[in-house]
Amino acid sequence: MTLAPSAVQAEALVLRYRRIRSRSMALCASLTPEDMMVQSMPDASPAKWHLAHTTWFFERFVLERDSAYRSPHPDWNYLFNSYYQAVGPMHARPRRGLLSRPGIAQVRDYREKVDEAVCERLSRGVDATTADIIGLGLEHEQQHQELLLTDIKHAFFCNPLLPAYTAPHASSAVASSVRMEFIAGREGIIETGHSGDDFAFDNELPRHRALLQPHALANRLVTNAEFAEFIRDGGYHEPSLWLSEGWDTVCREQWQRPFYWQEDLSSEFTLAGVRPIDPDAPVSHVSYFEADAFARWAGARLPTEAEWESAASGLPVQGNLLDAMSFHPQAATAGEGMLQMFGDVWEWTASPYVSYPGFRPLAGALGEYNGKFMCGQWVLRGGSCVTPREHVRATYRNFFPPHARWQFMGIRLGQDR
């Protein structure tokens, strides 16, 4: 039986709540009001919408559990609902950039009012279910912190001036690139999926058995230099390397290089503006189709998610994550064993995004959070340079459609043994 949080636990939750919510605002500190309402494509959302939607989540799923609560903006329920059909209708996702009203000042005021109400609710004591929903809401907020940064990167890329979000990060020099080696993974029956009492999304559950065949995973991520060799060898012009749908996409979209690479193949657009490509840094912003084609060209394959999780289990969650404030993938430093397992880029796996055996979504509208997207998408693991460190773990399952490129997505190779 889950118990309601103690006074000490409630106080710690308040501090965590304020810290995470403050980071969202800090990430927007350099943005103008005009920046914050741009929606550069249907898959992206304006920064202002991210700030309002994450606030709506706490209002709708936490504060409205109290029948006495009255929203200061009940009509905003329609504007800032994302995809929760059980809650009610919502503004069309591709049209979020048309919401010039409410203004950013009103959204900030909305955040402050909801924050005070949530913290006041915690100070009075909440039941275990409400505390769990607040925890889910904070994880949801951290997801949107990452989306906020990737969406503003795409918006700035669409601006002919190619503006910078941040100053260039002074990365530490690497004397030479780490040699790629393949490290044998565990084989046989293993347990995979989340265990323990700490937070996990419902799609990480339940823990279950999986069979691993003899295999090995690369000790580091594929680099820009290695991917450039794929391009020079005609990788984007050889249909035998591509899945049928991938080849159709390459031809239709006229892909010639990773997203954000410039035509000269020596520079790329980053959150710090156009910068020279670091040949030893992980290649980023490639689709599942590109990752799969590169792996085939390299005589390898992509790891399964069970293979990846097995390799990551027990490793500390450390690396080039949002907390490092580099906002860009960095070259691997010297080290032994599996490198870059967390941070830098999300790693495409060969596994479709489907439920685990015995999966049960959360009850009610929150059950729409993950389960209904288990169709036509592929699993990524490990987090990126804009993922909050405390948000990611070895069992975390990210997912995107195979053509997606605007997230920090990269490649780790696997092979059969």
Number of Cβ within a 10 Å radius of residue 99: 18
pLDDT digits (tens, 9 = 90+) for 323-359: 999 999 999 987 889 999 999 999 999 999 999 999 9
pLDDT digits (tens, 9 = 90+) for 61-94: 999 999 999 999 999 999 999 999 989 999 999 9
CATH code for the part of the protein at 182-416:
3.90.1580.10
For the cut 60, the answer to whether the pLDDT of residue 289 exceeds it is: yes
Q: What is the pLDDT of residue 3?
A: 65
Q: What is the pLDDT of residue 1?
A: 44
Q: What is the pLDDT of residue 317?
A: 96
Residue 367: band (very low, low, confident or very high) from pLDDT cuts 50, 70, 90: confident
Q: Where are the domains of the chain?
A: 7-157, 182-416
For the cut 50, the answer to whether the pLDDT of residue 378 exceeds it is: yes
Residue 369: band (very low, low, confident or very high) from pLDDT cuts 50, 70, 90: confident
Task: Tell me if 7-157 shares its fold with 182-416.
Answer: no
Task: Give the residue from 354, 358, 359 showing the smallest Cα distance to 374.
Answer: 354
Distance from C-alpha of 185 to C-alpha of 270, rounded to nearest angstrom: 34
0.85 surpassed by pTM: yes
Phi, psi torsion values for 286, nearest 5 degrees: -115, 145
For the cut 90, the answer to whether the pLDDT of residue 32 exceeds it is: yes
Q: What is the pLDDT of residue 10?
A: 85
For the cut 80, the answer to whether the pLDDT of residue 173 exceeds it is: no
For the cut 60, the answer to whether the pLDDT of residue 104 exceeds it is: yes
Please give the average per-residue pLDDT across 365-380, as a whole number: 91
Angle at the Cα of 240 from the Cα atoms of 303 and 250, rounded to 5 degrees: 85
CA distances for 315 relative to 220, 308, 347, 393, angstroms? 14, 12, 16, 9
CATH architecture of the domain with range 7-157: Up-down Bundle (1.20)
